[in-house]
Amino acid sequence: MVAERDKATYRSDARTQGRELSAAEREKLLRPYLPTPRELPPNEDVASRSNGIKPRQKPRRKRVRTFVKSQLHVLLYYLIHLVFGVYIRLRQIYHATIDRSLGILYYHHRSPELVRKDVKNLSRLPEHLSVILTLKGEEDGGLEALMDEVAELCAWCASAGIPLLSVYEKSGRDAHCPRPTKWSTS
C-alpha cells in the first residue's frame, strides 16, 4: 500500500507538471513500490535491448544424440503403424471371408425355411409391406436391377408369410406398366 505522504508528494508534483521534484527525486520516491529489476545477461547490453534488436546468438548445433533419438522415435512410429496396419487388414480379410461364406450358406433364395426361421421369433408380422425403389439409369441396366430387387422382395415376403406387397418406383415412371404396380403374394 502506498504511504499517504508519498502519494501527496507525487500528486503535488504532478499538478505542477514535474517542476517540484527532479527526475532523481521522482525515481527515489517510486523505487520502494516497483519490483526489483532483473539482472541482464552478461552478453546483452542496454543499448541493443532498448532498440528492440536482439543480439545475434550462435546457432545451436544439433548433437548426434538428439538426431539418433529423433530417428528412433520416427522408426518406432512407423513400426507401430506397420504392425497395426497389418493387424487391421488381417481382421478385415477375416471378417469379409466369414461374412461372405455365411452369406452364401444362408442365402434366403436357397431355402425359404431360413426366412421363416428368422421371422418366427417376431411377435407380429405386417399384413401389408410397402416399398419405394429407385430406377437407376437406363444405360446401367436399371430396369433389370429394379426387377431383380422386386423379385427378391416377393420371394422374401412369400417365405415370411406377408400376404400383400406394394412396390413403388421413386421417380414416378412406371417400368412399362400402364397402372401402379402392386403384387400380391397370396
| Domain layout of the chain by residue ranges | 4-51, 59-105, 124-184
Q: What is the pLDDT of residues 132-149, one digit of tens each?
A: 988 877 776 778 888 888
For 182, the 3-state DSSP assignment is: strand
Q: How far apart are CA 83 and CA 77, in angstroms?
A: 10
- How large a percentage of the chain has pLDDT more than 70? 77
Task: List the chain pLDDT tens, one digit each, 186 residues.
Answer: 678 888 888 888 888 887 888 888 888 888 888 777 776 555 555 555 556 666 677 776 768 888 899 999 999 999 999 999 999 999 999 999 999 998 888 776 667 888 888 888 899 999 999 999 888 777 767 788 888 888 888 988 988 889 999 988 877 655 555 444 555 555
Q: How far apart are CA 159 and CA 161, in angstroms?
A: 6
Report pLDDT for 180.
47
Q: Is 139 exposed, middle or buried (0-12, 13-18, 19+ CB in 10 A)?
A: exposed
Q: Decide: 33 and 2 in contact? Cβ < 8 Å.
A: yes
185 φψ region: left (φ > 0), alpha (ψ -120 to 50), beta (else): alpha
- Residues with Cβ < 8 Å from 43, sequence gap 6 or more? 55
Report the candidate in 124, 150, 122, 121 with the shortest Cα–Cα distance to residue 135: 150
- Distance set, CA 53 to CA 35, 37, 39, 56, 183 (Å): 24, 20, 18, 9, 87
Which residue's C-alpha cell is 481382421?
A: 91
Which residue's C-alpha cell is 503535488?
A: 12
E strands in 9-139:
128-133
Report pLDDT for 35.
77
- Residues with Cβ < 8 Å from 166, sequence gap 6 or more? 128, 129, 130, 131, 182, 183
- Distance set, CA 166 to CA 108, 118, 127, 162, 185 (Å): 20, 22, 11, 11, 10
CA atoms within 13 Å, Cβ hemisphere of 157:
22
